[in-house]
Amino acid sequence: MTATAAAAATLTARALLLDMDGTIVNSDAVVERCWRRWAAAQGLDGDAVMEVVHGRQGYATMALLLPDRPMELNHEDNRRMLAEETADVDGVVPVPGAPAFLAALAGLPHALVTSADRTLSRTRMEAAGLPLPELRITAESVSASKPDPEGFLKAAAELGFAPADCVVFEDSEAGIAAGRAAGMRVVGVGPRAAAHGPDVAVPDLTAVAVEAGPDGRIVLKIS
């Protein structure tokens, strides 16, 4: 099933797996500033770079853009970029509907699955005024970046649910591909998501209502 933002839908799940940037936190302003500086330093077109940065860990984006570059240089730049992004919270805000959405998940099985590291994820969630889920799968938790499904599969396993019982919330091409590769249904959030084949696409989280079902399932009503 593929639905648009205008089509109502109801999904049920045992657990929800949430991307951070672009899905519950709007950090686009910081990402633009940091990555356009990096693009300029590498002699790359900033607009072209911004087309592929979302969802992946930094080193994976660099390897995609500069395939002949030594990977150790990508990891070195990635460490520096993470420090820059952690220090810059100007313009970091919650995605519309995110505070109520996360409040509704209190006590229900869910996890954060992000390409950010522990420090950056904590910094951005705090800057946006959002609670940190108890389970967080960050860059340090995995050996492969999205679109590899490792992060989502690890989160499902740690929560104790089969992939088919999980629903992923994602905004990026890489993240949506990772969720689908994990065998999970995907709710695409925001302007980037609809073009990349999520099961349901919403403009933001105000279109998602969360209810606890009588059998312990999570009921998602998409408007």
* Active-site pick, 21, 28, 117, 199: 21
Nearest to 115 by CA among 63, 172, 182: 172
Q: Do the beta carbons of residue 176 and residue 26 sit within 8 Å?
A: no
Separation CA 63–CA 59 (nearest Å): 6
Q: Which of 19, 148, 199, 204 is catalytic?
A: 19
Closest CA to 219 of 16, 12, 14, 15: 12
Query: 148 — phi, psi (to 5°)?
Result: -65, 140
Burial readout 69-107 (b: 16 or more C-beta within 10 A, e: otherwise): eeeeebeebbeebbeebbebbeebbbbebbbebbebbee
**Type of residue at 37:** R
For residue 160 the two structure tokens come to 């104790």
Catalytic site includes residue 19: yes
Active site includes 165?
Answer: no
Gyration radius (Cα) of the chain, Å: 17
Tokens of 57: 């860990």
Give the DSSP H/E element, type plus range, for residue 176.
Answer: helix 173-181
State the catalytic residues: 19, 21
